Structure 1
């Protein structure tokens, strides 16, 4: 039997089984439940391996056969981001477009440099000698928030719509921007600063970001025109699928950002005006349901994979300490990177109380950070940064994800009492 079919089948079976256990017994948001159950499952396999290593060998075999970075960044990410963008409230996003734009560009850049700098000094203190440029790489891979983790958890947490739009909108775009920043710093680290011109870096950044958005705009417009000219829900669903897959191929061909291209296309196609003029009610239902199913299926597989990635970690004492110290560093740097834009826009737009606190705690990290960490070379201290990233991501999803709802309710309650006094 084909190895790839075997691995996909095992992952889907595990995702279905863990998803069932979560819905039936744990009743946690899918992202949290699946990851928690997979980690417990992997720890259970570790325990059993002391008596019989068959299951551990099988799980290790599956993980070794999967290029997580390639699977997530080149295949899964486009589908997940398109599905997220398709169901994002476009009118709310239009109102919040400037803060979302600043959060997802300037916010990610500032966070990258803050995290990189503080982590550099933290590693020196605990006796790990790592060059500053590699710490910046870690800053770039950990700064983007993950829309895949964010979307499901925020909906369950009951975050106010205006704030949900800011966090989701930011995380949809900052993925693309974060990947571009990471790849730019990666190139500088790989080739050496002496061989890189500042103009080349700026050109690469602009080409990836602007090129991705322009390609996405063109894809969205062509898809809209095609869907408007026919009324056949089967074919229209296939057209949206072709837009994502064709768009990803074109983005790689022209060296522009595929994540930004599919997000832009998804926002255009999901826009209420486009929906009403291009899709019948039946088509709209089928398109939405199809992409919801794709979203749920890939999400479940992704979070099972994140849980299983424990097997590739080099769990050294200093690496674990660095990971634990990185949790407050990443959170404080995110808080600091949002301070200026939030205070600037607060007067012009009606922000909910403690926006910065909720955006910091609700800005979860996920599979994208792990995928980028897996893409580091040995010279870039891959083992160290993979452990640090994994610890931050697990804390983010399990602890922040489980408590963001309580934080929102506590803040709402506090300000409701203040208003009544």
Structure 2
């Protein structure tokens, strides 16, 4: 993975896309390179995937999400994350049942199980492109928020359907009504428990973060929270995914800015960035090894790939009616251009790959099922079909959709101009800061007697000209782009946060009563959730 990252200096490819291609090549060469490993036998165990790989990825994503922006866009995110995932699972499952497993025992359940795997989006790669292009922040929030919460929904649905599939394989009886009732009850239970665990452990972690100033201890606390919240939620029959996401949101929006030192905040960001990089590297490379026994250039492989890609794209179309419905209740509706961007930005990556590798573990090692003796195994032929379909969808979304996202955003007029003005603004700002610093130093040298007044005048002429030109360009960009508005909005939020911090300090000292402070803090929180600039790009 490190060699791939270094090699990208000469090959202009997104890192995750390059990893997919290299992992596929290594999978083909795996027989010769790893003679002592049983390739195709599951290189990762279920425990390693669920309790080591997933929690850090989910925590890293949720901790970086601004909760006030999430609140202002909760309707479309909720619709995409819950009804959207359910509809995607149903549509993909029905298409795969009809075109792949028609007439087979448990064919519908196989299709639904694979549908739950492919229903989860993972737009890590495309978010990097969106931010690089300077696309609207709200669009990034919608894509990232959908990804975080639909991952949790999809994993819960996956676990429910997996139990149903294994029960039918083991010879159990399960009617459609029983499955639906059990699914709804189980879904509500595991989600509710996951939310409670995430809230409680997140609040406890925030209190602990505020009690220490050791940045190493503070970073270690976030690591313990990421893994501990997932493990504890699973132990009490809840959703570990939901627990991690909720805990990450609480710590990222309250514990980190209010209870962590500046050194710890910087270290925390870099630490989780490296963790996510390493885990994604492992997942994208290992999928190549998992495929080396089943991927072959045949008409059947091509057929399965086309069915999977077509089903995923067709099911993804549900975002248009869902976002249109949310627009009925939104002050700032999601435009058709943004709907297209969200549709095309629905990449599949880490979570679907992890769930597929989990099935590989069940194929080769089996799984125990309450009420049944012995282990239950998923058919290897069924798994091979799922593997081909899932990898084809992941490969299509990462390579085709990921590479075409940049020209699509430019074509839609969503980005391009903003990134150019951002760059010009940064250059002008840097020149202004640099020229001011040079002029200050020149004045200091004159006062110290190091240069004469004439020398100061002569040397300072170019810097004064540079400073005036930079200030002129900054003034032009402030009226012709969103850059200046965005920076002023950041300053406004900093001022509101400063007011909140002072009010909390005065409440602790007893200067203000708890009721007065609570009312004032509530007004400040409401102001934080709103932008003075009624432009959806802020």
Scaled by the length of structure 2, the TM-score of the pair is 0.67
Q: Partner residue of 2:322?
A: 341
Q: 1:286 to 1:314 in 2, by over 3 A?
A: closer
- Alignment of 1:19 with 2:5, yes or no, is yes
- Alignment of 1:54 with 2:32, yes or no, is yes
Q: Partner residue of 1:184?
A: 160
Paired residue for 1:79, among 56, 72, 75?
Answer: 56
Shift of 1:199: 3.6
Cα pair 2:39 2:290 within 8 Å, conserved: no
Shift of 1:70: 4.0
Cα pair 2:348 2:397 within 8 Å, conserved: yes
Q: 1:121 to 1:274 in 2, by over 3 A?
A: same
Q: Partner residue of 1:96?
A: 73
Q: Tell me, what secondary structure is at the counterpart of 1:354?
A: helix
| Pairing 1:62-77 to 2, within 5 Å after superposition | 64=41, 66-67=43-44, 69-77=46-54
Q: Tell me, what secondary structure is at the counterpart of 2:292?
A: helix
Paired residue for 1:322, among 290, 299, 304?
Answer: 304
Q: Deviations over 1:31-58 (max 9, x none)?
A: 1122223324444x27xxxxxx632536
- Alignment of 1:35 with 2:20, yes or no, is yes
Shift of 1:226: 0.5
Paired residue for 1:265, among 234, 237, 247?
Answer: 247
Q: Tell me, what secondary structure is at the counterpart of 1:313?
A: coil
Shift of 1:85: 1.1
Q: Deviations over 1:108-144 (max 9, x none)?
A: 001111111122222268x988722211111111111
Q: Partner residue of 1:373?
A: 356
How far, CA to CA, are the matches of 1:293 and 1:370 in structure 2?
20
Paired residue for 2:266, among 285, 293, 301?
Answer: 285
Cα pair 2:294 2:388 within 8 Å, conserved: yes
Q: 1:20 to 1:395 in 2, by over 3 A?
A: same
Q: Tell me, what secondary structure is at the counterpart of 1:26?
A: coil
Q: Which has the larger radius of gyration?
A: 2
Cα pair 1:306 1:367 within 8 Å, conserved: no
Shift of 1:324: 1.7
Shift of 1:384: 0.9
Shift of 1:296: 1.6
Task: Give the root-mean-square deviation of aligned CA atoms.
Answer: 2.7
Cα pair 1:172 1:263 within 8 Å, conserved: yes
Q: Aligned residue pairs: how many?
A: 390
- Alignment of 1:393 with 2:394, yes or no, is yes
Q: 1:281 to 1:414 in 2, by over 3 A?
A: closer
Q: Deviations over 1:66-97 (max 9, x none)?
A: 22654333311100110111112322212111
- Uncovered stretches (5+) of structure 1, i.e. residues with no partner: 1-14, 47-52, 417-421
How far, CA to CA, are the matches of 1:288 and 1:332 in structure 2?
37
Q: 1:132 to 1:42 in 2, by over 3 A?
A: closer
How far, CA to CA, are the matches of 2:34 and 2:380 in structure 1?
29
Shift of 1:365: 0.7
Paired residue for 2:338, among 355, 369, 373?
Answer: 355
Cα pair 1:84 1:147 within 8 Å, conserved: no
Q: Deviations over 1:156-211 (max 9, x none)?
A: 45442111111111111111110111111222222248446344322211121121
| Pairing 1:186-335 to 2, within 5 Å after superposition | 186-192=162-168, 194-195=173-174, 197=178, 198-271=180-253, 273-313=254-294, 315=296, 317-335=299-317
Structure 1 or 2: more helix by fraction: 1
Cα pair 1:314 1:384 within 8 Å, conserved: no
Q: Relative contact order, CA 8 A, sep 6+: which one is greater?
A: 1
Q: 1:253 to 1:148 in 2, by over 3 A?
A: farther
Q: Partner residue of 2:450?
A: none
Cα pair 2:63 2:252 within 8 Å, conserved: yes
| Pairing 1:402-417 to 2, within 5 Å after superposition | 402-412=403-413
